[in-house]
Structure 1
Amino acid sequence: MKFLLKSASYIFHPIWMPFAGAFLYFLVTPRFFPKEVIEAKLLAISIMTIFIPVVFFFMLKTLGKVRSHFLTEVKERKWPLLFYALLNIIIMKYVLDMFDYPELYYFFLGIFISTLLGLMLVISRLKISLHMMGLAGTTIFLILLSLHFSLNLIYTISFFIAIIGLTASSRLYYNAHSTSELLWGLLLGMFPQLAVAILWL
């Protein structure tokens, strides 16, 4: 059980969630996209949301600005969140077109808003769970996709809800977050996605 709880924090790290949302979108959408286009978009998104942030993290670690990839200290989160917000702007401007990929575009707009809200709380010295923020945002996006395209994604959505519970238990077990910090993370992940859904649902 301890192994399962510890693994959840790594496997469902928030850095994977934007790519997971994009991958699932192309997997379930009834819209037709050429295979080459899908591969190119997913590659670009993975570079912008995974590989570049990892390089940026190691740069910050070398400079002594962060100690752990979990960003346990509130002050460690400012620069990564700011940088991540800028990367989302680049994705929305150069990778995803609002008219060709409206659902995915607004998914990343929701991520951008969540990131900015998280940054504002960090500046206010309030810590939230980024794990919960990422998982909640992706889960809401899947629910909205199922409604928008009339898809039966009950098993996938149920899996993500179960993962939210497992990851929350993991963060509590290892004293990484308090219950209120987990709740704030859930809210900051959920509501921006619900807000931007008005523009595409």
Structure 2
Amino acid sequence: MTNQLLKSISYIFHPLLMPLLGVVFYFSKTPRFIPEPIIKAKLFSVTILTVILPMLLYYLLKTLNKVDSVHLETTNERKLPLFLNICITFLIIIRVLPQNEIPELYFFFIGVLISTITCFALAVIKFKASIHMIAASGFFMFAVALAIHFKININGTIALMCIILGAIATSRLHLKAHTPTELFIGFFIGLIPQLVLLNYWI
């Protein structure tokens, strides 16, 4: 039972979902008026590019025997998916969420891009940072930043995210997917770019 629960955590809080969650969280908390058609268009575009397209590319890579499993267990398996994700994130920054439209989300995805490039660089030198922790900690820092920026109380969300981060780390350790060092470094790879970029939009 415990094994199934910890395994399910890795799927429920999959890294592919975190950028979309950040966009949903922003639109649910921003006090700014944004027309509903624009919100729907942005959510649709981000869903296609951050969830649907990567899933399709994964199945293509699996068909071509470039990856063995969705967990990307080796650093060699990680390189091509991470590179493709870098390209997708860059496309989102340029075409979907440019700086002059929604600067908060623009810098959120700049942070995602920096974190992904860092993870890719580490994979090249054979170090496997936790992508789960990168994605979750990046979202966590962005949520805290929005609370400061818009002066809103999200203590409940922050407490929940702390629990989720702990659950993700426990899950990855239990499944022997990562060492504590890989989880620790992954946490900071996701958090630090978001923290540094606060200077540009808060």
The TM-score normalised by the length of structure 1 is 0.98
**CA deviation vs aligned residue, 1:30-70 (integer Å, no higher than 9, x gap):** 11111111010000001110111001100110011111111
Structure 2 residues not aligned, in runs of 5+:
none
**CA deviation vs aligned residue, 1:124-156 (integer Å, no higher than 9, x gap):** 010110000000000000000000000101111
Counterpart of 2:67? Answer: 66
Corresponding position: 1:108 with 2:109: yes
Instruction: Give the AA of the match of 2:9.
Output: A
Q: Give, in whole Å, the separation in 1 of the partners of 2:88 and 2:125.
A: 23
Q: Give, in whole Å, the separation in 2 of the partners of 1:7 and 1:155.
A: 23
Counterpart of 1:120? Answer: 121
Counterpart of 2:42? Answer: 41
Q: Which 4+ runs in 1 deviate beyond 3 A?
A: none
Corresponding position: 1:192 with 2:193: yes
Q: Give, in whole Å, the separation in 1 of the partners of 2:3 and 2:65.
A: 30
**CA deviation vs aligned residue, 1:55-105 (integer Å, no higher than 9, x gap):** 110011001111111111111000111110111111111101212200000
Across the aligned residues of Structure 1 and Structure 2, the Cα RMSD in angstroms comes to 0.7
Quote the offset at 1:197 in angstroms.
Answer: 1.2
Q: Give, in whole Å, the separation in 1 of the partners of 2:160 and 2:70.
A: 25
Corresponding position: 1:5 with 2:6: yes
Quote the offset at 1:157 in angstroms.
Answer: 1.5
Greater CA deviation, 134-143 or 94-103?
A: 94-103
Structure 1 residues not aligned, in runs of 5+:
none
Counterpart of 1:55? Answer: 56
Aligned residues: 201
Q: Give, in whole Å, the separation in 2 of the partners of 1:36 and 1:183.
A: 40
1:10-159 maps to which residues of 2 (within 5 A)?
10-159=11-160
Q: Give, in whole Å, the separation in 2 of the partners of 1:66 and 1:40.
A: 32
Instruction: Give the AA of the match of 2:5.
Output: L
Quote the offset at 1:196 in angstroms.
Answer: 1.2
Q: Give, in whole Å, the separation in 2 of the partners of 1:71 and 1:125.
A: 13
Identity %: 41
Q: Give, in whole Å, the separation in 2 of the partners of 1:158 and 1:43.
A: 29
